Structure formats: structure tokens, C-alpha cells
Copies of this chain bind each other. A is one copy, B any other.
């Protein structure tokens, strides 16, 4: 076996966190930049991870009564104009289709031709186009609620992009629902942020906090935006999902009107909620280490990889043994499904092969060679622990589901520990400044974390936040009923918020 390098990823997290992130994506084959500005290519390993996320989320959406549908990619420009805050939020970053064909230009190349009467926007989100359809579907209270989700690509023309976290095109799901009452719509908004929190914690092994966004951070056009916020290993916050109570803003802009049971004409109440391929970036930054990607078993495309070790004529015996082992492992279930086992019999040196799977984050590796077979045992390595251990075949087969469960739990516990180690309560502006100021401003070390502060949301506070590049992540929904005074203005304050630097 080749001697292991000290770390598979260079630079390490401590040395240069943003560059470490890019290098993990590269080493783990998740994605790469494309020739199209700001758009990425999601490679098979990254796409399988996204498919596993989709499958789990889709099941949760269906279990809460939603159905999937599909609406147009394009939005007529006039539709965006209808909701004033909404257009302001998205107009600056829209891809605009203005022509519908290409014709030869005099230089032998091509040029756009066939100008459209009305430009079309490539959807940055679909409230307006879906709302226009719902306005036709909704006539009576009997047509409500409408509970629909869409899996789709969307485009937001970001100037500074980073793979998975912020790209011009990304994949997501967007739920869009219509209700007869304010109460039902609020319940739906809360139900779906709970679904996201459940998914983040129980599938991604990523602890999150549910809370409400402050006015300045809401979705354009929303009455209230709920989010789940997670802490990455550089202690920055990442918003991993949002659920918006839209009140009657969009139903008034789009005339989503119904006749109530008593016969009156009323505007409906709408919600929307979404998560995106951003979750892949969140997953990466929550669990990965200086050797590459670390995947929670429930979402890993391959949960167990078997690495045959042999020379020449030993191959037949080793592969036969592995064939039996594979079948036994695939007969076990974890998280309600047969265990996903891969055998890597490529003609690649053993050390290189092992590191290939380490870097890609496979939860459990089993090495099997002639000596192991003599003892009817295997060498088992967990991605979340440094050392490999010998185990009898019977033991590894009997325990494989438990082992995967332990990895899943350990990843969650480690992330929860990091978050609790780096969450502080701050009551003065001086402490706040100190907490969010790196010791080395030229090349900032990993610093800060989540600061829980009572606050009153005024201009002077916003100036301070802008100066320190800190944002209000959310006002947590739970355990947040004790009043206090604003850490910055000293004014009475009802609630605490989480303050953090953020992605």
C-alpha cells in the first residue's frame, strides 16, 4: 500500500477555509465549473447525492399531502411587474430572453433574430407564473387548499458565484400553496420549515435552528420568512431552507380570489417554500475534514465500499469471497432500504484506491485480502474515525446497519458540539465587536460563531452589522420568551436573535 499523505486536501480548513471548500469539491468529484459563467456541472457523484436528498424530501412532501407539478421556465416580463417588492428583489439578477432564433451574421457567425414582443424572464422563482395559473384554478373554497411542489432549475444572475452555494443556475424545489384562511397558511408555513429541519437533522446530520427572518432579510413580497440556519465548520451561518408566509400580497397582485362558504368573495392566502442544491454545499461544510468529503450514511450514494486486495492468481479466491460478502451485506437493511454496497475492483494501486473513497466520503470501507479470508475476517475503516479495525465476517454483516447508524449519529453529535462550543450570549457592543473581529485582519483566522443577543432592529444596529459584516440570521422560534435590552442600543428588547457572519 502507498504511504498515506498527511492530509488528502491542501490547504486544510485551518489554513484557508474557502480554498479548502473548492478543493474538497474537486477531490470528491462532486462538481466543476462549466464554460458558462456562474453555472456548474454537477458530476455523477454529486448528482447521486442530490438524487438521494430529492427522494427523501419528496417522500416527506407527499406524506404531508403535497403533489408535484411542472410550470413554465419562462415568465413574461409584465408578470414580474405586478408585485412591487418582488420585482425589486429579483430584477437586478434576471436572465432575459429577447429573441427566438439565430441567423447568420455578415462575419460568418450567428446573431440573435426574431425579437419577442414581450421579453421573457428565466424564472428566478415561480410565485408569479404559478400564481397566474392558480388564479384560474381557484373559484370556490372547495378548490382549496392547493398543495403543490415543483422540482426545477432556476436562474439568478449572481455576480460572485461559488459552487453549490451561489450559482447562476441551480436546482431546487419550490412549494406553492393556497389556503382559504390566514391560519391555515401560517400552519403550512410552519409545517414545511419543520419538514426542512427534520430533513436537515435526521438525514443530513446537520443541526439547525428554526426562526423568523427580520424585515430586512425577508423574501421579497413575503409577510414572514421562516428559515433553518446551520453552523458551518468555519463558524459561519448558512441558511439551508426557507418557508414564506405570503399573506394576501400575491393573491391581490394576481387576483387569486375565491367564493367562501358564506358566499363572499375573498382573497386567498398563499405560501411558498424551498431548498436547493445549496444543501450539498451545506452538507460538505458541516462534516468534511482535511481528507475530503464526509457523507452521512443515510444520503451516501455508496454506504459501504469493498476493496479487494490480491496479487495475480489470488484474484479468483478473493473475488469469490467478496461476492458472498457483498450479497450478505446487501441483504441487510439500514434506514428502511437495502444497504448500498459497491465493490471497487479497478486496476488501481491499493493506497490510491483507498484514498479515492476516503476523499469521496464513503462511510464504511472494507478491505479484504487472502490473509483476511483465512481468518474469515475483514479490515473495517469508518470515514468518521482515523483507524481501521479487524472484524470477523459474521460480525461485520451482523453489525453493518448499526455501524452506519453510529456514523450517522456521530456526525450529528460532532456538528452539534461544534455549534454549542461556538454559540455565546452577548450583551454589550464591545463584546460583540470583539467576538466578530479576527485577530489577523489581513488573512482572517476562523473566528466568531453564533452570538445570541437581545436586539432592537434600528438603523444604528444595521450600521454596526454592515461594518462588521455580520447579519441577523433569525429570531429563534423556541426558548426565546425572556425580554432583555438591546446589546447595541440599550433599548428594551423582547427577543434574542442569532447574529453571525454568513454564506
Contact = CB atoms under 8 A, between A and B. Distances in A.
Contacts of A50: 70
Interface residues of A, number: 63
Interface string A11-50: 0000000000000000000001011100111111011101
A102 interface: yes
A226 B102 CA distance: 28
A59 to B, nearest CB: 12
Given A74-B36, A110-B91, A69 B47 contact: yes
Interface stretch (A75-83, A190-198, A257-265, A313-321): A75-83
A345 B98 CA distance: 48
A100 B91 contact: no
Given A98-B96, A100-B96, A157-B101, A74 B110 contact: no
B93 A95 contact: no
Given A94-B101, A112-B98, A47 B35 contact: no
A55 to B, nearest CB: 10
A69 B91 contact: no
Counted per complex, copies of this chain come to 2
A402 interface: no
Contacts of A391: none
Contacts of A155: 73
Contacts of A46: 69
Nearest to A99: B96
Given A34-B133, A36-B74, 17 more contacts: A34-B129, A35-B76, A35-B129, A35-B132, A36-B72, A36-B75, A36-B76, A36-B120, A41-B72, A47-B70, A74-B169, A77-B112, A78-B109, A87-B110, A95-B100, A97-B98, A97-B122
